[in-house]
Amino acid sequence: MTVLVIGGAGYIGSHTVDLLINKGYEVIVLDNLLTGHREAVHEEATLYVGDIRSLEDLNAVFSNKRIEAVFHFAAQSTVNESVKNPMQYYENNVYGTMNLLKTMESSHTKYLIFSSSAAVYGNAGKAPIPETAPLAPLNPYGETKLAMERMITWWAASSKSKYISLRYFNAAGAKSSGEIGEDHAIETHLIPIVLQTALGRRKKMYIYGEDYPTSDGTCIRDYIHVEDLAEAHLLALTYLRNGGESNVFNLGNGSGYSVKEVIAEAEKVTHANIPISIAPKRAGDPVCLVAAAEKAQKELLWLPKKSSLRQIINDAWKWHKYNPDGFKTIAKM
Ligand code: UDP
C-alpha cells in the first residue's frame, strides 16, 4: 500500500514515516524542507521536495503513483510566530490544505489522517478536555488548525473520502534509538529548550509567566511521546480501512505537568543544573491543556507505551546529547 506523508521531513512526520516503513508501507514524502530536514526522512521513502501551496507540486506527486492514504503534517506550528504573522499561517496552513483536498478529490484518494492540535480548544476551562469541548482558539495557529479541520469535514461530506483528525497535545521525545528527533532552526518548545540549557548550549532559559492560576503559577501541558503519536496515525488509518467513519480524536496522556515540573524532571534525567529566569507571559498561551484521550484508546485501540514524563525526557535527552547540532551533526557524518 502506497501512502503519502506531507511534511514527512518534520518532527512528528519523520517519526511516522519511520514507523510506516518499518510496518511495510510504501512511503512517499512531500516536504518543502523549509523547517524539515532531508536527513530525517527514512532512506527507503521517496522524497519529493515541493510545497502544498503549489497545485503543480501536488499534481507531480499524485499523477505519478496511486496513493491510497495521505498523512498531512505540513503546517507552521509556532504560536508566537502565528500571532506575529497570521497571514503566513493562513496561507501555508489553510490555503495549502485547500490545494491538498482538491488534489485528493481529483485523484480519488480515499483516506486522510490530519494533524490537528489541542490549540483548537483555547482555554477550555476544564481538564481533562474531551473532544466535545467548545472550540475557541486563542491564537492564529489554533484558528488555522480549526479552519483546516472544518474544511476537511465539509470536503469529506461531499466526497467518498474519509478522514481522521488527531488533536495532539504536546508532542515531545524522540525515537528511542536516538537516530531522529526534534530539530527546529529557531527552537520555541519547552523540552528541547530545557535540554539545550542542561547541555550548556544556552546559559539559561526563561519561564514565560509565573502567575497563572495553577499550583506553582506556571502553565500546564500534557506531554506525549512522539513514537506514541506515530503509532496513533497508523491505527487511525487501520480504523478507516476497516470501515470506521470519519472522526476526531485527542492524543495525549491525560496527565498535566507545569513548566517548573518539567524543568525539575529534566534536572533529574540530565543530572544538570538548569538556570532559569522568569519572563513575561507569551502571547496566546492557554493556562492548562490536558487531554481526555479515552476515545482514541477505546476506538482506535491506542495504548501509549511511553506515557511517563521521565521516559519522554529520557528519549529527548538521548537525541540532544548525541546530536547537539541536530541534523547538522548527522549530515556531517
Ligand atoms: N515555555 C517556557 N519557556 C520556554 C518555552 C516554553 O516557559 O522557553 C512554556 C510555554 O509558555 C508553555 C509551555 O512551556 O506554557 C509549553 O510550551 P511549548 O512551546 O513547548 O508548547 P505549546 O503548548 O506552546 O504548543
pLDDT in tens, 249-292: 999 999 999 999 999 999 999 999 999 999 999 988 899 999 99
Q: Is residue 325 part of a domain?
A: yes
Distance from Cα 190 to the centre of ligand 1, integer Å: 5
Question: Which one-letter DSSP state was computed for residue 317?
Answer: H
> 193 C-alpha to center of ligand 1: Å?
9
Give the domain extent around 130. Answer: 2-172+223-251
Asked if 316 and 173 touch (Cβ cutoff 8 Å), the reply is yes
Among the listed residues 11, 25, 121, 141, the single catalytic one is 141
The protein residue with its alpha carbon nearest to ligand 1, atom 12, reads 219
Do 143 and 263 fall within a single domain?
A: no
Number of domains in the chain: 2
Please give the Cα distance from 216 to 276 (Å, whole number). 15
- pLDDT tens per residue, range 175-186: 999 999 999 999
DSSP assignments along 246-261, one per residue: PEEEEES-S--EEHHH
What average pLDDT does this structure show over 223-243? 98
* Torsion of the alpha carbons at 64, 229, 302 and 141, rounded to the nearest 10: -90
Q: Of the ranges 15-24, 120-129, 248-257, which one carries the lowest mean pLDDT score? A: 120-129
Cite the DSSP H helix spans in the chain: 11-22, 55-62, 79-84, 86-89, 96-106, 140-157, 190-198, 226-241, 259-270, 294-299, 309-322, 327-332
The alpha carbon of 280 and the centre of ligand 1 are apart by a number of angstroms equal to 12
Ligand 1, atom 3: closest residue by C-alpha = 207
Q: Look at ligand 1, atom 20, and give the residue with the nearest C-alpha.
A: 189
CATH number, domain containing residue 269 = 3.90.25.10
Digit-coded pLDDT (tens) for 289-331: 999 999 999 999 999 999 999 999 999 999 999 999 999 876 6
CATH code of the domain in which 28 resides: 3.40.50.720
In this structure, the answer to whether residues 217 and 86 fall within a common structural domain is no
Assess if residue 177 is contained within a domain. no
- Alpha carbons 191 and 171: distance in angstroms, whole number: 10
CB distance 145 to ligand 1 below 6 Å = no
Phi, psi of 330 (to 5 degrees): -70, -40
Say yes or no: CB of residue 215 within 6 Å of ligand 1: no
For residues 247 and 319, membership in a common domain is answered with no
Same domain assignment for residues 284 and 315: yes
Q: Both 231 and 94 in a single domain?
A: yes
For the chain, percent of residues with pLDDT exceeding 90: 94
Q: Is the pLDDT of residue 333 over 60?
A: no
Return left, alpha or beta for 178; rule: phi > 0 is left, psi -120 to 50 is alpha, else beta: left
Q: Are residues 7 and 55 in the same domain?
A: yes
Q: Identify whether 179 is part of a domain.
A: no
Domain final position from 236, 251, 266 = 251
pLDDT digits (tens, 9 = 90+) for 90-101: 999 999 999 999
Cβ of 224 closer than 6 Å to ligand 1, yes or no, is no
Question: Mean pLDDT for the chain?
Answer: 96
Asked whether residue 166 falls in the same domain as residue 196, the answer is no
The best mutation among 282, 289, 309, 312 to test binding of ligand 1, ranked by most ligand atoms within 8 Å of the C-beta, falls on 282
Using the 8-state DSSP alphabet, how is residue 332 labeled? H
Pair (31, 61) in one structural domain: yes
Are both 197 and 210 inside the same structural domain? Answer: yes
Is the residue at 47 inside a domain?
yes
Ligand 1 atom 15: the closest Cα is on which residue?
219
What are the phi and psi torsion angles at 238 (to 5°)?
-60, -40
What does pTM read for this prediction? 0.97
Sequence-ordered alpha helix ranges (H) in 134-223 = 140-157, 190-198
Is 185 a domain residue?
A: no
Could you tell me the end-to-end alpha-carbon distance of the chain, in angstroms, rounded to an integer? Answer: 33
147 and 244: one domain? yes
Grid coordinates belonging to 275: 538556570
- 3 in ligand 1 pocket by Cβ < 6 Å? no
**Quick check: is 64 in a domain?**
yes
| Average pLDDT over every residue of 17-34 | 98
240 plus 328 within the same structural domain: no
Mutate to test the pocket of ligand 1, among 79, 145, 259, 276 (most ligand atoms within 8 A of CB): 259
Specify the length of the chain in residues. Answer: 333
Q: Is residue 286 part of a domain?
A: yes
Q: Tell whether 159 is covered by a domain.
A: yes
d(CA 24, CA 44): 10
The lowest-confidence range among 120-129, 137-146, 276-285, 293-302 is 120-129
Q: How many CB atoms lie within 10 A of CB 191?
A: 26
Is position 11 annotated as part of the catalytic site?
no
Q: Which three cell numbers stand for residue 30?
A: 512531500
C-alpha–C-alpha distance, residues 317 and 94, integer Å: 34
Same domain membership, residue 260 and residue 159: no
What's the pLDDT at 283?
Answer: 86
